[in-house]
Structure 1
Amino acid sequence: MQKFRLIDLYAGIGGIRLGFDQALGDSARFVFSNEIDDQCCITYKENFGVDPIGDITKIKSVDIPDFDLLLAGFPCQAFSIAGRREGFNDLRGTHFFEIARIIEDKKPKAFFLENVKHFEKHNKGRTFKTVKKTLEEKLGYTLYHQVLNARDFGLAQNRERIFMVGFKDPISFKFPSPMRKKNTVADILESNVDGKFFLSQRYLDTLKKHRQRHEDSNHGFGYIVLDKQKTANTLVLGGMGTERNLIKDTASLRKSGRKDANSEAIRRLTPREALRLQGFPDSYKIAVSKTAMFRQAANSVAVPVIKAIALQMMKTLEEKKSAPTLMPYVK
C-alpha cells in the first residue's frame, strides 16, 4: 500500500484519526492536527502523543505541511436536530469554509468529512447544496456522500451520520456495505461499576415525574432504561441526554455498597461504556474527568464506520494508482 500523509482537522479526541490509523496502519503518517477544546486536546495528546494546534481560522495554509488526505468532522452543533439548526448563520457553521480554503490551497488527493445526518436537509437543502457546489464546482473534486448507521458496523448504538468523500481525480467510489455482525448493549457493559453512577431514589423519582409530564403533553421525552439485548440510543448531550441511555445493574449496585441509590438499580453509562459504544478500544486512555470524558465520547464518531470508509478510500486510490495510463488514440 502506498504511503499517505494526513491532516486531522476539528479532531476532537481523534476518533476519525483512529479509524484511519486502523485502516492504513504503517501507511498513515499524520503531519498536522487541530482542535480548539482544551479538554479534548488533553485526551488527544494522551492517546496520540501530539498536542493539536488550536484555532484553525488563525492558521495560514502555507503553515500546514503538505498532505494527501484531509480528515475533518467539522462542528455539527449548528446543524444538529438536537440544537436550533442555525447552520451557516451560526459561527460554527462557517468552519466548513476553513476546510474549503485549505483544500483549495493545498489540493490534496482526497478528503473525508463527517457531520450529523440532518446536515443534508438543513435549511431545505440549501446548506448542503452550497457545500456540494463549493467542493465540486469551485474546488473541482468528485464528491460522494451517504448516511450510514453505526449499528450496521458492529456497534450497539443507533447513530446515523452523513459522510462525504471527495477525490481530486474523477474516481468511482462505493461506500462500505453493512456488516452482518450485530452487537447489543450487553456487549459493552462493564462489571462492578462504581456506586456513584447509580441514580439516587430522589432523582429517579424526579425523572419519572418529568417523563409523565411529557407523556401527558404528547412530547414523548423522558428517561429511558435500555434493554440490554437491544441497541442503545444515540449518545447525546444537553438537556437530559445522559438519561436517554440508562442501565439496570443490580449486581454492580449490590457490590458497590451504596445505600442511597434507587431501589431499581438504575445507573448511567460509564465513560468507558460510552467509548465502547463508539467503537474505541479499551486501550484508549481516559485522561480527563469522567464527566468530560463522557461528553467527549458523545461528541465523537463511530470508529468502525470510519475504518470501513477509510478502507474503501484506500482501495479506490490504490486501484487508481495501478490502473494503466491509456495513450490517446491517433488515426
Structure 2
Amino acid sequence: MNKLYSVAQVADMLGVSKETLRRWDNSGKLRSIRNPMNNYRFYSKEQLRQFEELSFIFDDSKRPQIIPDHAYKTIELFAGAGGLAIGLERAGLETILLNELDKDACATLKANRPHWNVQCGDIGALGFSPYRDQIDVVTGGFPCQAFSYIGKKMGFEDARGTLFFEFARAVKEANPKLFMAENVRGLLNHDGGKTLENIRSVIDELGYTLLEPHLMKAIFYRVPQKRERLLLVGIRNDLAGKVQFCWPRPYQKIYTLKDALKAGELFPNDTPVSAGQTYPAKKAAVMAQVPPGGYWRDLPEDVQKAYMLQSFYLGGGKTGMARRMHWDEPCLTLTCAPAQKQTERCHPEATRPFTVREYARIQTFPDDWQFRGALTSQYKQIGNAVPANMAYELGLSVVDFLNRLCGETDVLPAGIPLQQEFKFT
C-alpha cells in the first residue's frame, strides 16, 4: 500500500508552510488527495518522489550496525547539560574531557556521570596540549559571535576574543583526526556569509579540511521536534583524502508530540510527573481558548487585541504567540523558557507550559537524566541542548568514519594517561 502523508508532515519534511502547500495544490505543483470522510488532505509517497531532498523515504535498505573497532576518545567543549555527550556515549565514543562554564549545567553532568572528567570554568583557562595526538575528535557547539571583518580572510590570531577562537585553539593543541561543531542555522548567512568565511579561513590555517556545512532537521532522526542545527565537520588534512565522512541517514518516520510524552516507540512509559512553570490566571484564561495547533489568530478578535496590544496592528504572522502544540505533530523548536510570550509552547491539552520532564522528553533525554539548578536554569539547559537521539546518529557517523579510517591506515596512536586534572588559573 502506498503510504500517505498529512499536510503537516509534508510541510515539516520540506521545510515549507502549510500555506505554501495550499498554493502548490491550487497551482497544480503538488495536488493533494482528499479524504472523502473528513475532507482532510494527504499526499501519497509517490507524489513526493519529485523532491530530491526526500529521496531517503524510498530507501528501504537495512541500516548497517556500527560498532567501534577501537577505543575512540573525544573532548567536548561547551557541553551544556549533556545532550550531545549522551548521544556520543551511546554510539560508543569515550568522552575524556568535558568543559562547561555554567555551574548548574556542570552539576547536571556530574550528577548523571560521576566518572566523567567535567572541568567547570572558563575555557580560556584550560590547556589541551597534554592531549595532543591522543584524541580522535573534538566536539562542541560554540556560540556564534560576530567577527570583525576587515576586508580579508581572518586568521587564527584575529579570532581572539571569540569563543570560536577557543574551540579552534583546542583543535590546534589536541590535533584530533576530526572535529565536529554544531551551531544555529543562521550561521550560514550571518553577516552576509562573512562569519562562515572567516571560520573557514581559520580552519584552513589549522590544517583541516572543512566539509560543506550540513543542515540537520531533528525530525528526521527520531526527535519529535521541528529543530534545525548546522553541523561543521573538519578533517585533518593528512587524513582528508583517505575515507569519506558520511552524514547520518534520515529515518522515514516522523515522530509527534504524542510519541514524546506518551508510552510508545520512543519511550516505554508516559512522561514522569515533574515540576513546571504555570501561567498567571489572566494569561491562562486566554490560552484556554486556543485550540490544539492554534495560536493568537484563533482567538476571538477582542481577546486578540487585548492580548497582543500594539502587536495586533503590526505586520508579520507572529505565529509563536499564544501558541498551543498539537498531539499529532512534532513540537516547535524548544526555547530556553516555555512561557515566553513571543515563543509560546503550551501543552496540547492542559493549559500550562511543558514541565521539565516533558521538555526533556521532547529533546529525547532519557527519563533518568536529572537536571540541577533552579527551574528556570533547568529549562535553559534543556532548551539549549542537542537532542540526544540526533546526537547518537552523529556519533554513529563519527564512529563509522573512524572505523574506516583506522582500517585504511592501520595505525593507532600510542596511549598516554588521559585523566590528567587541569587547574584553572
Cα distance between partner residues in 1 of 2:161 and 2:312: 34
TM-aligned CA deviation for residue 179 of structure 1: 0.6
Amino acid at match of 1:204: A
CA displacement, residues 283-318 of structure 1 (integer Å, 9 cap, x when unaligned): 211333332211110011112222112211211221
Cα distance between partner residues in 2 of 1:98 and 1:146: 22
- Are 1:4 and 2:72 matched, yes or no? yes
CA displacement, residues 84-138 of structure 1 (integer Å, 9 cap, x when unaligned): xxx236x998111111112112211111100001111100001001111211x21
TM-aligned CA deviation for residue 277 of structure 1: 1.2
Pick one of 140, 143, 157 that aligns with 2:207. Answer: 140
- Are 1:181 and 2:280 matched, yes or no? no
**Which residue number corresponds to residue 361 of structure 2?**
276
In structure 1, list runs of 5 or more residues that go unmatched: 79-86, 250-264, 326-331
Change beyond 3 A, Cα 1:7–1:241:
farther
Pick one of 308, 316, 324 that aligns with 1:219. Answer: 316
Change beyond 3 A, Cα 1:166–1:127:
same
In structure 2, list runs of 5 or more residues that go unmatched: 1-68, 149-158, 262-269, 288-303, 411-425
Of stretches 29-38 and 146-155 in structure 1, the one that deviates more from structure 2 is 29-38
**Which residue number corresponds to residue 88 of structure 1?**
147
Amino acid at match of 2:357: R
Pick one of 317, 329, 332 that aligns with 1:230. Answer: 329
Change beyond 3 A, Cα 1:193–1:323:
closer
1:236–1:242 contact (8 Å) kept in structure 2: no
1:117–1:161 contact (8 Å) kept in structure 2: yes
- Are 1:43 and 2:140 matched, yes or no? no
RMSD: 2.6
Pick one of 373, 380, 384 that aligns with 1:295. Answer: 380
Of stretches 288-297 and 226-235 in structure 1, the one that deviates more from structure 2 is 288-297
**Which residue number corresponds to residue 257 of structure 1?**
none
**Which residue number corresponds to residue 62 of structure 2?**
none
**Which residue number corresponds to residue 311 of structure 1?**
396
Structure whose residues are more often helix by fraction: 1
Identity %: 27
TM-aligned CA deviation for residue 146 of structure 1: 0.2
**Which residue number corresponds to residue 329 of structure 1?**
none
Cα distance between partner residues in 1 of 2:369 and 2:85: 13
Amino acid at match of 1:240: Q
CA displacement, residues 252-292 of structure 1 (integer Å, 9 cap, x when unaligned): xxxxxxxxxxxxx4110011111111111112113333322
**Which residue number corresponds to residue 57 of structure 1?**
124
Aligned length: 296
Change beyond 3 A, Cα 1:210–1:120:
same
Amino acid at match of 1:311: L
Pick one of 278, 284, 288 that aligns with 1:204. Answer: 284
TM-aligned CA deviation for residue 324 of structure 1: 6.8
Change beyond 3 A, Cα 1:212–1:194:
farther
The TM-score with structure 2 as length reference comes to 0.64
**Correspondences of 1:43-122 after superposition (within 5 Å):** 43-49=108-114, 50=116, 51-62=118-129, 66-76=134-144, 78=145, 87-88=146-147, 94-122=162-190
Cα distance between partner residues in 2 of 1:148 and 1:210: 35
Report which of the two structures shows the higher radius of gyration computed on alpha carbons.
2
TM-aligned CA deviation for residue 192 of structure 1: 8.3
The TM-score with structure 1 as length reference comes to 0.81
SS at match of 1:323: helix
TM-aligned CA deviation for residue 182 of structure 1: 1.6
1:155–1:278 contact (8 Å) kept in structure 2: yes
Amino acid at match of 1:7: I
SS at match of 2:147: helix
SS at match of 2:215: strand
Change beyond 3 A, Cα 1:2–1:191:
closer
